Structure 1
Amino acid sequence: MSLVLTERAAEEVRRIVEQQKLEEGAFLRVGVTGGGCSGFSYSLGFDNTFDEKADSKASCHGVDVVVDKKSALYLDGTTVDFYDGIEKRGFTFENPNAVKSCGCGSSFQA
């Protein structure tokens, strides 16, 4: 899997895990779903169900990240970062496979 979670994003994921008191073994699941204003939307969530045939798992800065193999086609080479500024706050995606993105950055065309 060649999706990268930055150190800043990993810190935020660990903060959320601790704050929400998620159970041991929970990992970050990153994916792509149909929809959004540009065709595909990014999805982020916590999960503890891993399917060796359908998922890929990697560790980035101490955070386990899982991507299903269908989403991996669209996320290859993507960097997930966390931005915390005055004008916005949240996870960002730098996806080299996106040919067009919407203004909010949460959806894209491949």
Structure 2
Amino acid sequence: MGDSQMPEPLRQAVHQLVSEVVMNVQEVLRYTEPDIARDWKRMTLIRATDASDTMDTAALLIAEYCQRTGMALETLASCLQTGSSAAGRPVGRSTGCGSARGRRDARQAASSR
């Protein structure tokens, strides 16, 4: 897969989804303020979950485009950080998306299923 620009319809959809995520995360922050004591537990969990679900949708939308335009499934799995190798990866560590290591990790994860 080449490094061409993101197609405009996909870019607009991703921007819309990420903007929705930002609004939900801002609400999470708002419910942490001392003057919003009521419902803080329920509302922070609801909005955090909404943000997570929407970000998943954005990732899957991009993944669908990548798959339809020829990205290898192993590379896609590596970029999406799926499988057992991703679950145990420390936070902040490179995913190896598209690298030889990432392809090896994706093959290992696929063969362990």
Scaled by the length of structure 1, the TM-score of the pair is 0.24
Ranked by relative contact order (alpha carbons within 8 Å, sequence separation 6 or more), the top structure is 1
Q: Based on CA coordinates, which of the two structures has the bigger radius of gyration?
A: 2
Query: Structure 1 or 2: larger helix share?
Result: 2
Query: Structure 1 or 2: larger strand share?
Result: 1
